[in-house]
């Protein structure tokens, strides 16, 4: 059992690549000190899986949202379905929603992305729930949308944040929290240090984005989804190749690769160690702050998370 308590602020344990292993992934992660998992749906097809997972596991916070990559497949009734889900699932938060101008996002009409995103962001505000946001190469657009719809007293999570240090204060002022995953390891050290230093200590979160965003440092000590150990070269080739996107999420592209190293939620400890080293703080200090922030954020009315 780890001496630190952690909250995985964003993951996808309903993903078909790991769904059948979810019970053992959760059990192992719990054993290492990961107390809770915010599991984010991405399309109408997986919302019911996320709902079931939230009902089955006390540690899972269910989140429902339509990810920009899946908006073309939405049904005409998608928004009513989403609203009904929140009515019958008071424990749920909003996510994963967002906008994307990365290599995959460019293939999806941006005006349509913005329309779907704004509807869900407005819903999160009305429900007084936090929303987990995917943003790739569109932070200027995101800031404008957040200014128009916000502020967000219930908070928004900029998941796998890889944006600039300069944007942090304005985003934070609107209610943003900044969540860091294994993707942070793809950022140049000095840039990452500058960006992390700009994030207020009461706005920092940790996540895995599992089964994506596999850490690319200290890979010989990674928790493996399938029980195999992976060579450094394999990990780098499968999870480090998206840094050119300067993205905040989005290694769902990795799912298209034949060889991939799936990320385990227990690997949040690798993220913790990396963030602590960049901030030049102890891992205990970073763990305590990020856990406290996540509890504060997810302890909305109806949530299974209670303020501690």
134 is in an annotated binding site: yes
159 marked ligand binding residue: yes
DSSP H helical segments within the chain, as ranges?
A: 22-31, 44-56, 78-88, 110-127, 139-149, 168-173, 189-198, 232-239, 268-279, 283-298
Of the candidates 265, 263, 264, 271, the residue with the CA atom closest to the CA atom of residue 184: 271
Cα angle: 11, vertex 235, 267; to 5 degrees: 35
Q: Any known ligand binding at 87? A: no
Structure tokens at 117: 């995103």
Q: Read out DSSP for 215-284?
A: --SSGGG---SSS----HHHHHHHHSTTGGGTEES-GGGGGGSSS--PPPGGGHHHHHHHHHHHHT--HH
Distances (CA, A) of 220 to 4, 73, 215, 279: 21, 39, 11, 23
- Establish whether 10 is an annotated binding residue: yes
Q: How far apart are CA 236 and CA 215, in angstroms?
A: 9
Q: Which residues are annotated as a binding site?
A: 10, 12, 96, 134, 159, 209
- Binding-site members for a divalent metal cation are 10, 12, 96, 134, 159, 209
């Amino acid at each position: 059992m780890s001496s630190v308590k952690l909250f995985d602020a964003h993951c996808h344990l309903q993903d078909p690549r790991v769904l059948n292993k979810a019970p053992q992934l959760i059990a192992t992660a719990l054993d290492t000190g990961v107390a809770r998992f915010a599991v984010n749906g991405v399309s109408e097809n997986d919302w019911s899986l996320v709902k079931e997972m939230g009902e089955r596991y006390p540690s899972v916070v269910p989140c429902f949202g339509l990810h920009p990559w899946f908006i073309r497949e939405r049904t005409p009734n998608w928004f009513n379905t989403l609203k009904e889900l929140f009515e019958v699932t008071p424990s749920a938060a909003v996510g994963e929603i967002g906008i994307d101008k990365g290599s995959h996002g460019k293939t999806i009409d941006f005006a349509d992305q913005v329309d779907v995103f704004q509807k869900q962001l407005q819903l999160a505000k009305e429900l007084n729930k936090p929303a987990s946001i995917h943003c790739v190469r569109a932070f200027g657009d995101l800031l404008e949308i957040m200014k128009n719809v916000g502020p967000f007293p219930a908070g928004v999570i900029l998941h796998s944040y890889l944006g600039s240090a300069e944007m942090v204060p304005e985003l934070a002022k609107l209610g943003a929290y900044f969540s860091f995953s294994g993707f942070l390891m793809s950022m140049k050290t000095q840039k990452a240090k500058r960006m992390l230093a700009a994030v207020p200590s009461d706005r920092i979160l940790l996540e895995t984005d599992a089964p994506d965003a596999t850490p690319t440092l200290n890979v010989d000590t990674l928790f493996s989804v399938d029980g195999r150990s992976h060579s450094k070269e394999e990990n780098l080739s499968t999870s480090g190749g998206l840094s050119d996107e300067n993205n905040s999420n989005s290694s769902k592209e990795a799912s298209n690769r034949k060889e991939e190293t799936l990320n385990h939620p227990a690997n949040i400890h690798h993220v913790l160690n990396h963030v602590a080293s960049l901030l030049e703080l102890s891992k205990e200090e970073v763990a305590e702050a990020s856990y406290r922030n996540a509890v504060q954020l997810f302890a909305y009315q109806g949530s299974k998370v209670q303020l501690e």
